[in-house]
Amino acid sequence: MAGRRIFSSSLLILLEGRYARWGRGICRFGTAAAIEEPITPPVQVNYTKLLIDGQFVDSASGKTFPTLDPRTGDVITHVAEGDAEDINRAVSAARKAFDEGPWPKMTPYERSQILYRFADLVEKHKDEIAALETWDSGKPYQQAAAAEVPMMTRLFQYYAGWADKIHGLTVPADGPYHVQVLHEPIGVAGQIIPWNFPLIMYTWKVGPALATGNTVVIKTAEQTPLSALYVSKLFHEAGLPEGVLNVISGYGPTAGAALASHMDVDKLAFTGSTDTGKIVLELAARSNLKPVTLELGGKSPFIICEDADIDHAVELAHFALFFNQGQCCCAGSRTFVHERVYDEFVEKAKARALKRVVGDPFRSGVEQGPQIDTEQFEKIMKYIKSGVESGATLEVGGERFGSKGYYIQPTVFSDVKDGMPIATDEIFGPVQSILKFKELDEVIQRANSTRYGLAAGVFTKSIDTANTLTRALRAGTVWINCYDVFDAAIPFGGFKMSGHGREKGIYSLQNYLQVKAVVTPLKNPAWL
């Protein structure tokens, strides 16, 4: 299962009762008005300090901050709050580990074995890791356990396999010279990850950086620090040398800004909003012009053509939008439907949303948990209000679900127009906007009329239509008759203001390598 269509909807459907020991009570949106008392998570929080130079330590200031349970808003635990001084300590450790330590000097095979051992440890501790991820982020446990943790294992196995296969070239020159082109690690990689997929984003960043021989300072999202701290402890059990991987939990304006602007960080990778990405890029440029990989926001079109199997299209479009509570940068958040099938699609999309199972993410069968925090909850509710005020038709949802936590009803709007905020802005929540189109050229123009270009989906039986849209859509990924298919080898990244650079696959390795040409004269050119 690992690494093959790992986020496809079929993999999120587990046998009923598999997690029954954690309770069965589930709430379908259309039939329940409240959330049951939340289940006690089957895991303890043991790692709350900063990881610097192989040790879990308090922040330099001694400050901590709370990380909250999105199901209730209650405090899970308090975590060390890193700031600029802690970033300095972590970067210093990473610099020493790169310049003096064994990691970049190890044989690639030795590095690969540590990555393989880490993947094995993730598999061994998969239940605890999935439970921490669910508790801290609110995503369904079944999603974390059946899709995301296995994907993490698969990705680290993938990068472990690459570690001893990275090499340069020997190239011909116009003259008596021997020319080598070396691919070398950049040095200290600074990495900033978001809260919507903490484990997966950790993997996309840390995996290629370590496989190529770099050292890392990673800043977790303040909303979701727990799983990264836990799995980083496993890295040291796997034999990772001290200082190679350092983890700082803290806030963007303090720890994040310090990492982005640090003069001794050689490479920066960021995943998050486009607005924050601009700030990160500016800080990196103003410091030491470090190269930056950015994976930013999206407002991805999902185009349902007139020849579509409507029932299948409704299910796929539903998954494309509502997966992970809609908190997905590549969500199919603009559902374009051909006018001939529009009315039927809207009615069936409404019915599907009403059947969506909302509730405690630790309960078996739940499809949708809470949003990440009160700020995100309020932002989504404002967009829903703007949709109504703009003249879109609210088909279903639009309200808080239950009375506790950050739950929102699955929401569907029809009669959406291109200029409405719900059609232009990244909502990052369970809000489906359905737009009508008539001609293929028209929908291409409208789909591309956005500042984003992260992903797109196309649903059609026609290979000609699929080929036309594939070439015409300006997006880093185009899914044909599927959506959210992620594999270790498939590159991911955006066009336009969705960022630059690619993650996963061979392209991600290039982010952490620099090219050096070595030219040596040949004393006896007659043998050329």
Q: Which residues are catalytically annotated?
A: 295, 329
Angle between helices 126-137 and 149-162 (to 10 degrees): 120
- In angstroms, the CA 482 to CA 485 distance is 7
Length of the chain (residues): 528
Closest CA to 239 of 148, 343, 129, 103: 103
Closest CA to 302 of 321, 325, 315: 321
- In angstroms, the CA 27 to CA 37 distance is 12
Closest CA to 70 of 24, 133, 28, 19: 133
- In angstroms, the CA 317 to CA 356 distance is 13
- In angstroms, the CA 277 to CA 151 distance is 26
Q: Please, where are the H alpha helices in 212-358?
A: 226-237, 257-260, 274-287, 310-322, 342-355
Contact (CB, 8 A) for 54 and 242? yes
- In angstroms, the CA 481 to CA 381 distance is 31
End-to-end CA distance of the chain: 51
Contact (CB, 8 A) for 390 and 422? yes
- Burial class of residue 220, CB neighbours in 10 A (0-12, 13-18, 19+): buried
Question: Around Cβ 310, how many Cβ atoms within 10 Å?
Answer: 16
- Residue 169's SS3 state is strand
DSSP 447: H
Closest CA to 76 of 52, 40, 50: 40
Contact (CB, 8 A) for 250 and 94? no
Contact (CB, 8 A) for 328 and 362? no
